Structure 1
């Protein structure tokens, strides 16, 4: 089975998917971060296609960067100055060619993630 990467963002404060949240994917190499993809979540809080498709999958270290602050601003969440959560980077490894799913559970003052299925 070829590897690929998906993500999903849920707004745990409102109990619904986080539609319109920007996400960027980077590969971490010895020379730094290499940008691979940028997408926005759909009405289900997912990207319309895998953020790293099978054809581009390589094992290694990656980073998903979620534009949480901009999204919280866009939905009218009152902002502090500075906002408690702004950009959320999640660095993780993919060691075998399988489906990796890295969701983000988000609220204005906290988040969590896990390796999903």
Structure 2
């Protein structure tokens, strides 16, 4: 059991349409001390080549709610399309119009002091899924 008084958060993104990590996605982190407290922007990061954010800011003591904001619209531009098209079994055209149906993904969750929360995002141009990982 951890003796820390704060929770910690990590995340990674997998592009399920390309079968690869999603690199270069901006991720912002916010926290609050209860369901009615104001959100405090803590900063952010961008996913690396493995789709991971290894340098998200620490959560302040007393945090009970966390929000991860993923800016995915830019990701579904040229770079992601080229990556998917390079795969032998990738669709020739994503037929996604402007790029992504969901330009942003905001995930809000409850945290307890001393616990670590890994929240992966499984992403494609028309949908997403999240879960509490380990």
- Shorter-chain TM band: 0.7 to 0.9
1:7-86 aligned at under 5 Å gives the runs: 7-28=11-32, 30-49=36-55, 51-53=56-58, 56=60, 58-75=62-79, 77=81, 79-81=96-98, 83-86=100-103
The structure with the larger Rg is 2
1:104 counterpart = 2:121: yes
What is the TM-score normalised by the length of structure 2?
0.75
Matches of 1:33 and 1:74, distance apart in 2: 33
Q: RMSD of the alignment, in Å?
A: 2.1
The structure carrying a bigger strand percent of its residues is: 1
Unpaired runs of 5+ in structure 2? 82-93
| Post-superposition CA distance 1:64-92 (Å, at most 9, x none) | 00001121125254653584110110010
Matches of 1:66 and 1:75, distance apart in 2: 17
Aligned length: 115
Q: 1:16 to 1:71 in 2, by over 3 A?
A: same
What is the TM-score normalised by the length of structure 1?
0.84
